[in-house]
Amino acid sequence: MADLLVVGSVALDSVATPFGKVDDALGGSATYFSYAASFFTTVRLVATVGADFPETHVRLLAGRGVDVAGLQTTPGGRTFRWVGEYGYDLNEARTLDTQLNVLASFRPDLPAALRQVPYLFLANIDPELQLDVLRQMRVRPRLVALDTMNFWITSKRAALLRVLREVDVITINDAEARQLAGEPNLIRAARAIGALGPQVVVVKRGEYGALMLASEAFFVAPAYPLESVFDPTGAGDTFAGGFMGYLASREATDRASMRRAIVHGSVMASFTVEDFSLNRLTRLAPAEIEARVAAFHDLMRVENP
């Protein structure tokens, strides 16, 4: 089992879906990621929050064994806030407001112990910061993965292209893959993104599952079929947490393990969407993960005639 380092956002989210709403609820790319990955391996979190960030949220992460030593409080600052909504098509998040607050000036200085962690996830955050963290690694991690979103594709495209050249895996949702590649066809978009640097391109497609392009080969997995989805926020980050957590726990980077990692990512995401914020994850038992992984394999099985 190898350690997994993540840098990303820790947020207070205000989210409305057709099924309810929450205000200033715990969110953030690194939060969902680390909570999900903590079911598989030791996660070390690097992020910042403001003085207004409730201590109970830090305890929640620490209670799952997430190493929160790298979660800095910026004195006098306000925590990053995201305001979003979804219509009946839960695949599309509409951002109503993004307040970077303490994220605007965050430049972490990684302690020596973190500069040699073998699995690194650059969760959705300013690509300049993603590159900065990657450059601080003293030993090139065995696997570096990155996630991003429309906000950064639009506002920091040049920096994003720079960091993409240096990562092994990108996880990105379908609309953002099309936007990044400037290509409406998803298969061509995945290929075009692969040409920007990452050897492995994982496209998250919400209720339609995930698509992976690695070494010219495609792999597709459905989403776990659910009858009650309340809030898709965090599904992508939770997916990445299951994906990277699984690989780090197996100390693997091979393609067959990546296929299994996609199943684990999909299973973790299927729990997150069943409630708002991290609520469902906080009630999750490891046995439920295993049961859903087994159900997932059944669901994908095709007998030879």
Give me the residues that bind ligand AMP (CB under 6 A), please.
Answer: 9, 11, 13, 27-29, 32, 82, 98, 124-125, 149, 151, 233-237
Could you tell me the smallest distance in angstroms from the CB atom of residue 95 to ligand AMP? 6
Q: Output the smallest distance, CB 28 to ligand AMP, in A.
A: 5
Complex with ligand AMP: residue 194 or 236, whichever CB lies closer: 236
User: Taking a C-beta distance cutoff of 8 angstroms, is the pair 119, 143 a contact?
Assistant: yes
Q: Which is nearer to ligand AMP, 210 or 252 (CB)?
A: 210
**If we measure between CA atoms, which residue out of 203, 180, 244, 201 comes closest to residue 91?**
203
Here the tokens at position 178 are 């099309």
CB of 131 to ligand AMP, least distance (A): 15
- How near is the Cβ of 287 to ligand AMP at its closest, in Å? 25
Closer Cβ to ligand AMP, 153 or 263, answer by number = 153
Determine contact, residues 245/36, Cβ cutoff 8 Å: yes
Q: 201, 123, 193: which is closest to 169 by C-alpha? A: 201
Looking only at the bridges linking them, the beta strands covering 4-7 and 119-122 are parallel
In whole angstroms, give the CA distance from residue 127 to residue 152. Answer: 7
Q: How far is the CB of 293 from ligand AMP (least distance, A)?
A: 20
Nearer to ligand AMP, 179 or 253 (CB): 179
Comparing CB distances to ligand AMP, the nearer of 27 and 242 is 27
State the nearest-atom distance from the C-beta of 100 to ligand AMP, in Å: 7
**Which residue minimizes CB distance to ligand AMP?**
27
Q: Which is nearer to ligand AMP, 37 or 125 (CB)?
A: 125
Question: What is the crossing angle of helices 29-37 and 55-63, to 10°?
Answer: 30
Residue located via tokens 């953002």: 176
Dihedrals phi, psi of 38, to nearest 5 degrees: -65, -15
Cα separation, 50 vs 29, in Å, equals 16
